[in-house]
Amino acid sequence: MSLIVKIGKKGKRLVKKLLPEEKRHLSYTRRIERIKTARRVCAMTFDDGPMDLPAAPDRFGGRSLTDVLLDTLAEFGARGTFDVIGDTSENYPDAAGKAGSAAWGGVKFDHYPDIDRDSQGGAAHCERLIRRMLDEGHQITNHGYRHIIFGKKPFVYGAREYLGGVDKAADDLRRLHQLMADRYGYEITMTRPPHYVDIMQDGFTSYDVCDRLGYQYMAASFDGAGWLPSALPDEDAALEAEVNAMTEPVKRALEKDPDFFCGQIIFQKDGYNMAKRTPVAFGLRKQLELLKEYGYQVVTVAELMEESPFADLDRGDPLFDKLCRLQKSRAVAYSDNRVRLDQVMTWGELAMLMAPKKEAMNLRWAKIRSTGRRQDAYCGALEWCMDQGLLPRGIKPGGAVTALPGGLFGPVEGFTRRDVYGAYRE
CA distance 231 to 237: 10
Domain ranges of the chain: 33-305, 313-423
The residues with which 82 forms a beta bridge, in sequence order, are 46, 140
Q: From CA 293, how far away is CA 249, in angstroms rounded? A: 15
Instruction: Round to whole Å and give the CA distance between 304 and 321.
Output: 16
Residue 414: the pLDDT is: 87
Q: Which of 414, 419, 406, 402 is nearest to 346 (CA)?
A: 402
Distance CA 403, CA 406 (A): 9
pLDDT at 12 over 90: no
> Quick one: pLDDT at residue 9?
53
Find the mean pLDDT for residues 190-208. 97
Distance CA 113, CA 111 (A): 6
HSE on the CB side for 240, CA within 13 Å? Answer: 6
Percent of the chain with pLDDT over 70: 95
pLDDT tens figures, 359-379: 999 999 999 999 999 999 999
Can you list the alpha helix ranges (DSSP code H) found in 113-215? Answer: 127-135, 154-157, 166-184, 206-213
CA 364, distance to chain mean position in Å, is: 23
Choice among 80-84, 250-254, 292-296, 395-399 with the minimum mean pLDDT: 395-399
Q: Are 51 and 64 in contact (CB under 8 A)?
A: yes
Contact 420, 353 (CB under 8 A): yes
Q: Does residue 342 carry a pLDDT above 60? A: yes
Alpha helices in 199-234, H assignment, sequence order: 206-213
Report residue 21 CA to chain centroid gap: 19
Pairing label, strands 41-47, 81-84: parallel
Count of Cβ atoms closer than 10 Å to residue 222 Cβ: 18
If you average pLDDT over residues 231-236, what whole number do you get?
92
Pair 47, 269: CB distance under 8 Å = yes
Residue 195 near residue 150, CB atoms below 8 Å: no
Lowest mean pLDDT among 16-20, 81-85, 236-240, 366-370: 16-20
How sure is the predictor about 145, in pLDDT bands with cuts at 50, 70 and 90?
very high
- DSSP letter at 181? H
Element holding 285 (H helix, E strand):
helix 280-293
| Confidence bin at 389 (pLDDT 50/70/90) | very high
pLDDT (mean) for 98-116: 94
Separation in Å, CA 407 to CA 11, 180, 362, 423: 52, 43, 25, 11
Q: Considering only the top CATH level, what class is 33-305?
A: alpha beta
- Counting every residue written for the chain, the total comes to 426
* Residue 4: pLDDT over 70: no
